[in-house]
């Protein structure tokens, strides 16, 4: 639904059904809307049975990587005598993405219920919800909802009267994009710099505080109560294209589009219809030029690519990009791709944790070159240099921040080379020259 929360009839509102409905925020309101039924039944089930249902639903991670959630949960070995942890990744920092924020603002109990079920399913008694520090309102809403939940005996040492312990705590971030990377998040919770860790060991073996840990995105966990309530087959039935991509997916849309906002569609929805029908197309008098469909870390799509895309994990890959976090950034014909790609590079240079050489030095260097080209000081040789640096920044570091910086640069030069060349030939931005004249 576009801002301010006007649902579109082609949406499939599961997670977003109560966006804009302030009554859904309270515990009572949430219970009236069917809340905590799923948790109640989950606590009466064997954890393995929950994992099995989630596996059958086909639910995949909504944070970016798309790893099957049920399989991830099955890596947590029950009865190993160690404390297990669930981390909920609410560090939503990927430029273009703002769906988890809305889930927490409007339906905090959906997330709390999902966290509690997830924790129980993986044998964890403690769940940390890592919310980025800038999300002041989601933090307030989540804290209030947690207080209600504890007061009602839903959480704590005797969750819903079952004698099982489920504790959920909020851990507030403090300004670091990289803490959305799961191992960086664990370091951040432990009171360290948010440096990603080398894998192996994987979190399911040695994660938070060295114990078996699972990290799930907000949207992933929020979907779980619905899956338990309605069944795996129901969720799996949401599929318009590839059977490996099931369920509904929230897409955040921003940039130069008539109706920005969050839209929830069934996996495999045509991207063309999504952009022109649901989002209302470009603003008056303009036309679309490019789309970054899965948050700023994925390759840029040209409009022919975007318009041929079916919106699921495989569909975006088939059209030269990735579904990523589902943050759709749209640029229209008044925008300078060189400027925006340079600005994205600056974002990554700002956020690099400084561990790996290629990332620490490469993101900053690429930014300098991009900004020089944008300012009119570029040469054709710079383009070759950028591509070579990008190659050296891809697939060689502990995490993928460096790759993420390279992706828009490489796809930008490949798909919008004429804009780079125009900056070099005209010693500056042709769009700016037009405005000045």
Per CB under 8 A, contacts with other proteins among 238-257 are: 252-256
Per CB under 8 A, the segment of 11-19, 242-250, 303-311, 383-391 that binds other proteins is 383-391
Q: Is 317 in the site for other proteins (CB under 8 A)?
A: no
Q: Is 151 in the site for other proteins (CB under 8 A)?
A: no
Q: Is 352 in the site for other proteins (CB under 8 A)?
A: yes
Which of 75, 234, 276, 365 contacts other proteins by CB under 8 A? 365
Which of 48, 71, 151, 198 contacts other proteins by CB under 8 A? 198
CB 293 within 8 A of CB 255: no
Mapped onto helix, strand or coil, the DSSP state of residue 194 is coil
Q: Is 190 in the site for other proteins (CB under 8 A)?
A: yes
> Measured from the CB of residue 173, what is the shortest distance to other proteins in angstroms?
8
DSSP labels, 23-66: GGGSHHHHHHTTTTHHHHHHHTS-HHHHHHHHHHHT-B-TTTT-
Cis peptide before 200 (omega within 30 of 0): yes
Instruction: State the CB neighbour count (10 A cutoff) for residue 117.
Output: 26
46 vs 388, beta carbon nearer other proteins: 388
Which of 343, 376, 387, 432 contacts other proteins by CB under 8 A? 343
**CB-based contacts of 165, cutoff 8 Å, min separation 6:** 125, 156, 157, 158, 159
Question: Helix 99-106 crosses helix 108-121 at what angle (to 10 degrees)?
Answer: 100
Which of 68, 83, 156, 430 contacts other proteins by CB under 8 A? 83
Q: Is 321 in the site for other proteins (CB under 8 A)?
A: no
| Sites for other proteins among residues 281-310 (CB under 8 A) | 296
Q: Is 174 in the site for other proteins (CB under 8 A)?
A: yes
Q: Give me the long-range contacts of 142-147 (CB less than 8 A, separation at least 24).
A: 142/90, 142/104, 142/108, 142/111, 142/112, 142/170, 143/170, 144/25, 144/108, 145/25, 145/26, 145/27, 145/108, 145/109, 145/112, 146/108, 146/112, 146/170
Q: Is 262 in the site for other proteins (CB under 8 A)?
A: yes
Which of 189, 278, 383, 409 contacts other proteins by CB under 8 A? 189
Q: Is 319 in the site for other proteins (CB under 8 A)?
A: no
Which of 176, 222, 406, 409 contacts other proteins by CB under 8 A? 176
CB 185 within 8 A of CB 215: yes
45 vs 387, beta carbon nearer other proteins: 387
Q: Is 108 in the site for other proteins (CB under 8 A)?
A: no
Instruction: State the CB neighbour count (10 A cutoff) for residue 329.
Output: 25
CB 2 within 8 A of CB 8: yes
C-alpha 242/C-alpha 310 separation (Å) is 9
Q: Is 185 in the site for other proteins (CB under 8 A)?
A: no
**Which string of x and - marks every residue 7-46 that binds other proteins (by CB under 8 A)?**
----------------------------------------
Identify the helix (H) or strand (E) that includes residue 287.
none
| Sites for other proteins among residues 111-150 (CB under 8 A) | 126, 132-137
Q: Is 427 in the site for other proteins (CB under 8 A)?
A: no
Q: Is 374 in the site for other proteins (CB under 8 A)?
A: no
Q: For 375-407, b where at least 16 C-beta lie within 10 A, e where not — what string?
A: eeebeeebbeebeebbeebbeebbbbbbbbbbb
Which of 347, 400, 413, 429 contacts other proteins by CB under 8 A? 347
> Measured from the CB of residue 417, what is the shortest distance to other proteins in angstroms?
19
Instruction: State the CB neighbour count (10 A cutoff) for residue 296.
Output: 25
Q: Is 92 in the site for other proteins (CB under 8 A)?
A: yes
Which of 8, 62, 84, 101 contacts other proteins by CB under 8 A? 101
> Measured from the CB of residue 162, what is the shortest distance to other proteins in angstroms?
22
Question: How many of the chain's residues bind other proteins (CB under 8 A)?
Answer: 82
C-alpha 87/C-alpha 130 separation (Å) is 7
Q: Is 324 in the site for other proteins (CB under 8 A)?
A: no
Q: Is 216 in the site for other proteins (CB under 8 A)?
A: no
HEC letters along 89-158 = EECCCCCCCCHHHHHHHHCHHHHHHHHHHHHHHCCEEEEEEEECCCCHHHHHHHHHHHHHHHHCCCCECC
Which of 67, 169, 243, 418 contacts other proteins by CB under 8 A? 169
Which of 120, 177, 269, 274 contacts other proteins by CB under 8 A? 177
Per CB under 8 A, the segment of 28-36, 141-149, 302-310, 361-369 that binds other proteins is 361-369
Q: Is 193 in the site for other proteins (CB under 8 A)?
A: yes
Closest residue by Cα to residue 39 from 139, 127, 166, 169: 166
Euclidean distance between the first and the last CA atom of the chain, given in angstroms as a whole number: 39
Per CB under 8 A, the segment of 10-18, 29-37, 40-48, 189-197 that binds other proteins is 189-197
> Measured from the CB of residue 261, what is the shortest distance to other proteins in angstroms?
5
Q: Is 349 in the site for other proteins (CB under 8 A)?
A: yes
Instruction: State the CB neighbour count (10 A cutoff) for residue 372.
Output: 15
CB 187 within 8 A of CB 195: yes
């Amino acid at each position: 639904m576009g801002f301010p929360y006007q649902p579109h009839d082609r949406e499939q509102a599961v997670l977003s059904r109560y966006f804009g409905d302030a009554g859904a925020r309270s515990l009572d309101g949430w219970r009236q809307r069917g809340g905590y039924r799923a948790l109640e039944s989950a606590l009466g089930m064997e954890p393995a049975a929950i994992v099995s249902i989630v596996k059958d639903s086909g639910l995949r991670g909504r944070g970016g990587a798309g790893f099957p959630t049920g399989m991830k949960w099955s890596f947590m070995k029950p009865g190993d005598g160690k404390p297990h942890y669930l981390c909920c990744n609410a560090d939503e920092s990927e430029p273009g993405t703002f769906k988890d924020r809305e889930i927490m603002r409007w339906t905090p109990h959906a997330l709390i219920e999902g966290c509690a079920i997830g924790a129980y399913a993986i044998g964890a008694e403690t769940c940390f919800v890592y919310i980025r520090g800038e999300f002041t309102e989601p933090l307030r809403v989540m804290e209030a909802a947690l207080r209600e939940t504890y007061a009602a005996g839903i959480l704590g040492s005797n969750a819903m009267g079952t004698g099982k312990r489920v504790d959920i705590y909020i851990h507030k971030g403090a300004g670091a994009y990289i803490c959305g990377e799961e191992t960086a998040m664990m370091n951040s919770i432990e009171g360290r710099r948010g440096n990603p860790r080398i894998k192996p060991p994987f979190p399911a073996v040695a994660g938070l505080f060295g114990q078996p840990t699972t990290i799930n995105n907000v949207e992933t966990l929020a979907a779980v109560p619905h899956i338990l309530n309605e069944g795996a087959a129901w969720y799996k039935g949401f599929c318009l294209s590839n059977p490996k991509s099931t369920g509904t997916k929230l897409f955040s849309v921003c940039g130069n589009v008539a109706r920005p906002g969050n839209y929830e569609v069934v996996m495999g929805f045509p991207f063309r219809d999504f952009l022109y029908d649901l989002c209302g197309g470009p603003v008056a008098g303009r036309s679309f030029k490019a789309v970054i469909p899965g948050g700023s870390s994925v390759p840029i799509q040209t409009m022919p690519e975007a318009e041929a895309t079916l919106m699921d994990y495989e569909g975006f890959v088939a059209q030269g990009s990735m579904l990523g976090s589902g943050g759709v950034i749209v640029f229209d014909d008044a925008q300078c791709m060189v400027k925006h790609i340079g600005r994205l590079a600056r974002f990554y240079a700002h956020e690099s944790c400084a561990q790996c050489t290629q990332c620490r030095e490469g993101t900053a260097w690429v930014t300098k070159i991009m900004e020089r080209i944008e300012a009119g000081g570029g040469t054709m040789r710079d383009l070759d240099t950028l591509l070579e640096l990008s190659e050296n920044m891809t697939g060689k570091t502990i995490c993928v921040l460096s790759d993420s910086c390279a992706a828009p640069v490489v796809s930008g030069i490949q798909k919008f080379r004429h804009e780079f060349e125009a900056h070099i030939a005209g010693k500056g931005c042709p769009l700016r020259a037009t405005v000045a004249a």
